[in-house]
Structure 1
Amino acid sequence: MTGLPAVTAPVLADALDALPARLRRKVDDAVTRASGWPVTGMTGGVTVRVDEATTVTLVAVDGVVRSAADARCSCLLAPNCLHRMAVLALAPVDDTAAAPPPAADRPVDPAVGPPAGPVPGASADAAADPSADVGAAAAGGPAAPALDGAAGAGGAARSELTARQRIAADGLWQVAVDVLAAGTVGCGVVLRTALLRAVHEARANGLHRAAASGTRVAAGLRAARAAEPQYRLADLTDDLCELLAVSRRLRGTDPPAGELGPLLGTARRAYDPQAGLRLYGLCAVPVVTDSGYAGVVTYLVDRTGRVWTVADLAPGDVARAAGAGDATVAVGESGLSHRQLTRAGLVVSGGTASESGQLGAGRAVRAARAAGVGWADEPLAGLWAQPLPDQVRRAFGAATLPVPERPAGADLLFLTVRVLGGHDHTVLVATGDGAVLTLTVADEHAALPHRDNLRLLGQAAGAELRLVGRLDPTRRATVQALAVGPTSVDGPVLVLPPSWAGHADLGYDRLHSSQLGPAGGPAPAPPDGRLPGQGGPAPRPRLGDPGLGLLRRQVERVVSGGRAIQALADPTARGLRLARLDLGAHLLTAMGGAARARPRNAFGRLTDDDGQAFAESWLALAVYEQAASRALAEASWLP
């Protein structure tokens, strides 16, 4: 069903609460039937025709249903009817009245929407244009009385949680435990609505990081239920691990003062005045988030080599991201689009920026177009001059930071590589020191040219390229390719139009086979798998550790099938011990025992536990697997 206005989480929760218990069990079946009901637009809302005598009417204010009274059904059971609940469940959830847009530093970042108004203490320029702030990646909450979650109304640091915050954190934890026990196969509308209600309460009480994690989990559960092509079990697993870890920490003993701020997250970034900036375009990257935001992030570099970002993110889908590259940059009145800015420069005066390097777009900002430089010229060339070990350590260090604290571009790698070959949309490349890397797509959406471009680059065996990529901290020696450019005109090369200024943004510029090779075609790959001009066979990429791969499958299986599937699973701890993962084997055994544990009452009858012991055992195993995989991935880069 398409064409429905967005609804707020409280409206969805109120509609579910109004249903009798006997009807709640039928909600998921009703939602399935409702997907085929026709939708007709009207002034200020829509009508949904259920049958000849029944219609559901949604009244929207600014495109959003904000009150339960604005959702009405004409049947005799209204308002406590399945028709009304099914239509609301199919509508997208909107929280833009209380949350900032997502961070630009991460392609699948989770925030929920812009704040309702300016934040006290923020700069006038930033407050004048809420869309200029791309928010915190771990954020997603209302305009708080202060700029970070650990500060009070007067800006004084706070070292402990309030009673309301503890209640909200406990509510998130309890719902997350239920989600884990049910798995994606058992998470229907009722459980997803309970999660959205808990997210709303957490955000209202300043738990922005936990609320953002809950929003991503809810979006992942919905995508799994609808079998959407962009759904990834691995992403949902990581998001659920984050939600459980943060909510568990917040509901326990008070963390040290230095840890409270990152745990709470940030409602909105602070934008400070900047001296005059001379910026040079680097590349533009399309962004599509799981929370319903899309757009573009453009990376810029100043004279000192520091990376800055300017973003255009708003509610939308992949279609908005595909077109955002041609949107005008909001900084000043240069008239440049984001794609043009990557090949040009910018002189900014009166500008503002966050501590992480996100440029603001207030009314006082002045910007004028200036000449750009190629990747082989300073100051951009300095990015590729950094030693690879230093870049890898910087990127892995950035991956461990909360996104609000992550400097712009800190997770990017600037590599000079030689193409060894490719398969489908994966390309094997080698660096100058002989390291073999795997290039993967940065975004799987078919509307973006990532996949086609990478498939074409795999045919240019022997071509030497400069590459801008994002480190994948979960896979060995793997980079998400963002932009490429040729290093020379000798041998198999990538021939780009002069208007592209020497590089191609793989998310926007679509390559063609005529641009490969000196004669307009790709260099033929030797049939025996040997590199051009060399006598040895082409090296193969290093695969992940089999033991950790087995452990990861156990973690993801619980998210998919719930507690019941783990209770019936075959033990695999022996294989982990043979792989010298003794702690992983111990944690897996403990999780299996917690899954099978069923307490009995005084009469010997089985009683249900609250599932918390199982959730804590799963969380311990998931955190261990993430840390071990990240350590292994970092070791695969370094000698």
Structure 2
Amino acid sequence: MTPPREDTGAPLPPVAPAVSAAAVESLTTRLRGRLDQAVASLATTTVDLAEDGTYGIRCGADAWVTLAPGPSGTITSPDQARCTCLLSPRCLHRAAALAASPVADTIPSREQGPSPDSDPPADPDPSPEGSQPAGPGPSAAAVSSAGPGPDPSPEQAPSAAVVPSAKPVPSAGHAPSAEGAASAEGAASIGPVSSAGPALLTEAAPSVAAAPSAGPALPTGPAVRAVRTVSTAGPVPPAVPGRPSAAQVRAAGGLWTAASAVLAAGAVAAGAVPQAELLRAAHTARLAGLHRAEGAALAVVRHLRSTRDPQGAHRAHRADELVAALRELLLVTHRLKAADPDPELIGGVPHNHRPDGALRLYGVCREPVVGPGGAGGVVTHLVDDTGRWYTLRDVGPGGPARARRAGTAHVAVRSFLSDHERLSRGGLVVTGAVVAPDGRLLAERGVRATFAAGRPWADAVAATAAPDRPGSGHAPPLTGCDVRIVAAEGEEVLVRVLTGDAPGPTVRLAPAHRHPALAHTVNLRRLGACPGLEVRVLGRVDPGRVTTLRPLAVGPVPGAATTLRLPQEWRDRADLGYDTLADAHFPAGAHCPPPPRPRTAAADARPVDSPLRRIRDLVELAVTGGRRAAAEPARDGDRAGHVAALRRGGFATGADLFAALGAVAARRPRDAFGRPARDDQDQYAAQWLATAVYLTGTETALARGLWHR
């Protein structure tokens, strides 16, 4: 929705969701129909930034829109957006400018205090343990050598993960056992949603952890005792058993309705008006104290705008994130509107933490970041002695070229100055550290950092054994394992996982980024030219293919005869996005050119993609193309073939859900006169949610059995 603003002056300031929603709501029906076209036209309109901090946009011969953000740099009041046309403030120019601006976080920074429109949530806890009232304090500046900028997540990172239930999950090396694991977690027991209503999801579906942008659930257990609260934006609802209030149930119902409309329309048709309705419902959820649902709704809007970007080079890679955000929103609101008493559905206000004592961190690797809208940079991953992960980020405008340069750029933590390459192979001691909910280290006042020695890379890779994300304030871990190269297959590499004496499964290594400015593709081709080589890899499992790993770094396997020979200054690791592997880094006789074709002997060792790919394709098609696109497999006769393939693979429940989703999408109830009888949008949304939850649970079980043995 928000096009990249290259060479068109200053970027637009972020806008509070309530302000943007109110501007769209004030338009007439005729003007709403022209809103998407007006927003798209702003992509080539120059934005002028005046000396007083106001933004000016020329929208016609006699229309000049002025945005005057407050001290925080955010538009938080309708009075801060003005237009000179006669229809102002209910004009198309003003609404288009606000709709084209980024969605602001609703949590004010500490120097601002609470925003004027933030009412206390329902039934606040007068004295929540471990929290402090909001007040003035230092700003939370991100650690960056080039100043603050957009901070997209790496494109391979999954935005949500299923939280396992108390039931043990069996090994998921084969499809039937993965099906059983998903059933044990509750997703498979949902089955096709019947016309009796979507209440089946209330007790059967597992909880889904919120994405970083959606707000983490309230942390519990030992992790809470290890940190203390720096600041909060307001009182937190009580985390005690009890049914949600009537206001919270109504707010959840409004969010469900708005999200269902977005799902039915699809990302390609969910323009400014459906997004404004979702933002309005998110604001209502905020006033009711539903922090997790509000954060999920804002995440959906941001992903919608990224997906609808007509010039976005990476929109095809964001479909899985949009699916995860919409699944989280629908699941949370479905359970809330059914008065589910689980306190984690309410969520907490995201806030930063100060770990007790100094943080002793060890560098692991550098990861190039290329995001939508021309963003680029680097993320340095670090781990502490307990296996918890942290990140230092430097992301800003510049695209892949900036991502390449940022690998050796300086990074400042208050008075400490170093570079990402040195930190990724060394260590860091941080006193007074401030950690964001997504694991980012922030350079706030009082933070002190000192460079320290690193540790062997083998110890860092061993810290990836736990596949589930830790609690709030820690980054998700990467996946690491030892593999033996089998053969090259185009830009990908076939490898066999080393599992001791027994032969391991055959999987793929795929480039994390394919841009020629980055070295991922070149390095993978070099590795694929050396069959039999044993390497240690660290990366992320592809969210769409559990048999594919997108590595970020490689190193030698300790004790292996045929493995990498890296320079001492590299500290047993090569960052695939920045370091270039050469003949000197391979054993003698391994410097052969890449073969022109995949080796015939490797044909039988190719990994077979799970039949779950059919379900994922349908789930993503429903989100991007809408209900009509999801109904196509039911009309063209392909549904029977897909269902049969799923049953042959052992996914009987998945086959039923696949068939039911296509059938519900294609069904259009009509009365005796041929008119639409009723709107079954709720049933369609519930059926899509059941299929998406089953897919996530089963894929998680498969990935756990494949990569975390």
For the aligned pair, the TM-score class normalised by the smaller chain equals 0.7 to 0.9
Which residue of 330, 339, 355 corresponds with 2:421?
339
Q: 1:153 to 1:74 in 2, by over 3 A?
A: closer
Query: Displacement, 1:584?
Result: 3.0
Query: Displacement, 1:458?
Result: 3.6
Q: Distance in 2 between matches of 1:51 and 1:456?
A: 55
What is aligned with 1:111?
A: none
Q: Which ranges in structure 1 are unaligned for 5 or more consecutive residues?
A: 101-118
Answer with 612-621 or 463-472: which moved more: 463-472
Q: Distance in 1 between matches of 2:438 and 2:301?
A: 28
What is aligned with 2:492?
A: 426
Answer with 84-93 or 277-286: which moved more: 277-286
Answer with 583-592 or 151-160: which moved more: 151-160
State the secondary structure of the residue aligned to 2:65: strand
Query: Displacement, 1:210?
Result: 2.6
What is aligned with 1:34?
A: 42
Greater length-normalized contact order (CA 8 Å, ≥ 6 residues apart): 2
Equivalent residues of 1:299, 1:308 under 8 A apart: yes
Deviations 1:60-106 (A, max 9, x none): 33443333233222223222222222222222222265489xxxxxx
Equivalent residues of 2:485, 2:532 under 8 A apart: yes
Query: Displacement, 1:120?
Result: 8.5
Mapping 1:346-425, distance limit 5 Å: 346-348=428-430, 366-375=448-457, 379-380=459-460, 383-384=461-462, 394-395=466-467, 398=468, 404=471, 411-425=477-491
Which residue of 460, 466, 470 corresponds with 2:536?
466
What is aligned with 1:103?
A: none
Which residue of 246, 253, 258 corresponds with 2:332?
246
Q: Distance in 1 between matches of 2:251 and 2:514?
A: 35
Equivalent residues of 2:103, 2:298 under 8 A apart: no
Instruction: State yes or no: 1:309 paired with 2:376.
Output: no
Q: 1:14 to 1:310 in 2, by over 3 A?
A: same
Instruction: State yes or no: 1:541 paired with 2:606.
Output: yes
Deviations 1:423-472 (A, max 9, x none): 45422223434432312334567765444544454445554333222344
Q: 1:449 to 1:97 in 2, by over 3 A?
A: farther
Query: Displacement, 1:511?
Result: 1.6
Equivalent residues of 1:127, 1:362 under 8 A apart: no
What is aligned with 2:593?
A: 524
Q: Which ranges in structure 2 are unaligned for 5 or more consecutive residues?
A: 111-127, 144-150, 152-208, 219-227
State the secondary structure of the residue aligned to 1:271: strand
What is aligned with 1:8?
A: 16
Q: Distance in 1 between matches of 2:293 and 2:397?
A: 23
Query: Displacement, 1:485?
Result: 2.5
Equivalent residues of 1:12, 1:88 under 8 A apart: yes
Query: Displacement, 1:177?
Result: 0.3
Which residue of 446, 462, 476 corresponds with 2:546?
476
Equivalent residues of 2:268, 2:624 under 8 A apart: yes
Instruction: State yes or no: 1:80 paired with 2:90.
Output: yes
Query: Displacement, 1:483?
Result: 1.4
Which residue of 64, 76, 81 corresponds with 2:74?
64
Q: Distance in 1 between matches of 2:442 and 2:46?
A: 43
Mapping 1:211-290, distance limit 5 Å: 211-227=294-310, 228-231=312-315, 232-255=318-341, 259-261=342-344, 264=347, 267-268=350-351, 270-274=353-357, 278-286=360-368
Which residue of 543, 564, 575 corresponds with 2:628?
564
Q: 1:358 to 1:214 in 2, by over 3 A?
A: same
Query: Displacement, 1:561?
Result: 2.4
Query: Displacement, 1:158?
Result: 5.1
Deviations 1:613-634 (A, max 9, x none): 1111111122223333333444
What is aligned with 2:260?
A: 177
Q: Give 1:429's aligned amino acid.
A: V
Q: Give 1:42's aligned amino acid.
A: A
Mapping 1:113-262, distance limit 5 Å: 121-122=130-131, 130-131=140-141, 137-138=211-212, 140=214, 157=240, 159-227=242-310, 228-231=312-315, 232-255=318-341, 259-261=342-344
Q: Give 1:511's aligned amino acid.
A: T
Mapping 1:101-116, distance limit 5 Å: none
Q: Distance in 1 between matches of 2:376 and 2:486?
A: 33
- Tell me the TM-score normalized by structure 1: 0.77
State the secondary structure of the residue aligned to 1:565: helix
Query: Displacement, 1:179?
Result: 0.5
Answer with 278-287 or 489-498: which moved more: 489-498
Instruction: State yes or no: 1:94 paired with 2:161.
Output: no
Q: 1:70 to 1:249 in 2, by over 3 A?
A: same
Give the total of aligned pairs: 591
Q: Distance in 2 between matches of 1:309 and 1:637?
A: 22
Q: 1:279 to 1:16 in 2, by over 3 A?
A: closer
Deviations 1:372-431 (A, max 9, x none): 34436xx55xx45x9xxxx66x32xx1xx5x6369656x433323333343454222234
Q: Distance in 1 between matches of 2:625 and 2:305?
A: 15
Q: Distance in 1 between matches of 2:263 and 2:508?
A: 33
Q: Distance in 2 between matches of 1:446 and 1:196?
A: 38
Deviations 1:565-617 (A, max 9, x none): 34453254533145424433333343344334445569774344151011111
What is aligned with 1:113?
A: none
State the secondary structure of the residue aligned to 2:326: helix
Q: 1:141 to 1:477 in 2, by over 3 A?
A: closer
Q: Distance in 2 between matches of 1:356 and 1:18?
A: 36
Query: Displacement, 1:24?
Result: 0.8
Q: Distance in 2 between matches of 1:586 and 1:603?
A: 32
Q: Distance in 1 between matches of 2:344 and 2:557?
A: 44
Query: Displacement, 1:180?
Result: 0.9
Equivalent residues of 1:45, 1:57 under 8 A apart: yes
Q: Distance in 2 between matches of 1:470 and 1:326?
A: 24
Instruction: State yes or no: 1:48 paired with 2:50.
Output: no
Answer with 513-522 or 240-249: which moved more: 513-522
Deviations 1:163-193 (A, max 9, x none): 3332332222111100111112321111112
Which residue of 490, 511, 526 corresponds with 2:580?
511
Equivalent residues of 2:216, 2:347 under 8 A apart: no
Q: 1:200 to 1:498 in 2, by over 3 A?
A: farther
Q: 1:424 to 1:197 in 2, by over 3 A?
A: farther
Paired-residue identity, %: 37
State the secondary structure of the residue aligned to 1:48: strand
State the secondary structure of the residue aligned to 1:342: helix
Q: 1:167 to 1:287 in 2, by over 3 A?
A: farther
Q: Distance in 2 between matches of 1:54 and 1:67?
A: 21
Deviations 1:296-347 (A, max 9, x none): 5544455x563442434778785776638634353x7553334312222334
Equivalent residues of 2:63, 2:85 under 8 A apart: yes
RMSD over equivalenced CA pairs, Å: 4.5
Equivalent residues of 2:374, 2:398 under 8 A apart: yes
Q: 1:250 to 1:335 in 2, by over 3 A?
A: same
Query: Displacement, 1:353?
Result: 7.0
Which residue of 660, 672, 695 corresponds with 1:625?
695
Deviations 1:100-156 (A, max 9, x none): 9xxxxxxxxxxxxxxxxxx993599x9866458999844656999x9799x976976
Query: Displacement, 1:18?
Result: 1.9
